[in-house]
Amino acid sequence: MPRPRLVDLHEGPQVGWLFLDLNAYFASVEQQDRPELRGRPIAVVPMITENTVCIAASYEAKRFGIKTGTRLADAQAMCPGLELVAARPRLYVEYHHAIVAAVDRCLPISAVLSVDEMACELTGREQALSNALRLAAALKQELRGVGDTLRCSIGLAPNRFLAKVASDMEKPDGLVFLLKGDLPQALFRLAPGDLPGIGTRMQARLELAGIRTMRQLAALSPARMRALWGSVVGERMWHWIRGADFHDPPPPRRSLGRQHVLAPEFRSREAALEVGLKLLHLAATELRKLELWAGGLGVQVDFMRFAGQPQPGDPYWEAHTRIAECRDDFLLQRYVRRLWRGCPPAKPISVGVWLYDLARERQRTLPLFDAAEQQRRELASDAMDALNLKFGPQTVYPGGLQGVRAAAPTRISFSSIPGLERF
């Protein structure tokens, strides 16, 4: 579809950003790829097993109250006819790239924020509301060319923060605009928790201060919002909800990790360690790709709960340690094995590893005594990455991972999109 013709408008309503949010993305891609699933309630799960959660639900399933994070047993009770679909992350990334290309044909993308969200800063004639609405309609039509089951909600607003808010106000297939002259009153029908950045804990803090509505939140002073947040973020939000357009550069990355729900055959202390080491290998590979070094390492295990035990998330075991800054699999494995000695002999249900206190080359502390050994380890890790990039993932991998090559496949996180070379 050709880019829509824009007209010169120097007066009238203006918007600065367009935010696109794909609706029920994983489920919609599955329905696109498998026509027999269209019109049916489906839930996408990490794996077909009893102890898992839904990571996506079609709108037919959402009508029963199923959403991301719903436990499978609860979802099946809500909707007895629910169809389960094992997630296919590579397929979602392939569609993501096709969608990015489709959007870019209509409008340059300023930021890809996740696999199903992207933002476009509007300039010149694009800022006129009538032109922005034409662009939004063109984007929706272009998306149908990628897949006729794919839908998106689009928000138009003076800044990126409010454009995202607007994209959430009407789903599915919505188109909402917020104008600076209508702010903050146009937000009064929302709850504070509808704003990005106000999670469960922040909402509880606001309620403790007697703030339960958007009208009450908007009545606060910048200084009061800064005090409630305990940081400058609160003051920034005061300006954002009034339409001010500014955004700070993203802070440097401080941690990265991987977590995985274990398949039944890996629910033993020994097998969980092997899966944990594979997750460590994936995290270390990402660390090297980003040219970062880690100064800390942590491990967490959640255990099966039985009758009379607490709810999910408890019991669990967690351990972490400071480490000599490194990024090679071999030294990191030693640290994980050392921490694992403290893991209780219970039946694990999930395992996770994370690397933190990340530093770039110019920031890291160089070793005093084992520089030559560290260089050998890093060269071996870099060679392993190069071979896997050329011949495919898992062509070469650290010893001890042979039995878990099929475990913990590459997933899509909320904040990063894996390259196709990782599948």
The residues annotated as belonging to the active site are 117
DSSP 407: S
Pair 13, 179: CB distance under 8 Å: yes
Helix (H) or strand (E) holding 114: strand 111-114
Of 385, 363, 381, give the one whose Cα is nearest residue 373: 381
Tell me how far apart the alpha carbons of residues 178 and 182 are, in angstroms, rounded to a whole number: 7
Burial of 330 (0-12, 13-18, 19+ CB in 10 A): middle
Could you tell me the maximum CA-CA distance found in the chain, to the nearest angstrom? 70
Q: Please, are residues 407 and 49 in contact by the beta-carbon 8 Å criterion?
A: no
CA dihedral defined by 378, 383, 386, 387, rounded to 10 degrees?
-140
Consecutive H or E run containing 294: strand 292-303
Measured distance CA(236)–CA(334) in Å, rounded: 44
∠ CA 300-380-330, nearest 5°, is 25
CB atoms closer than 10 angstroms to residue 204: 10
Beta bridge pairs of residue 319: 299
Rounded-to-integer distance, Cα 402 and Cα 124, Å = 56
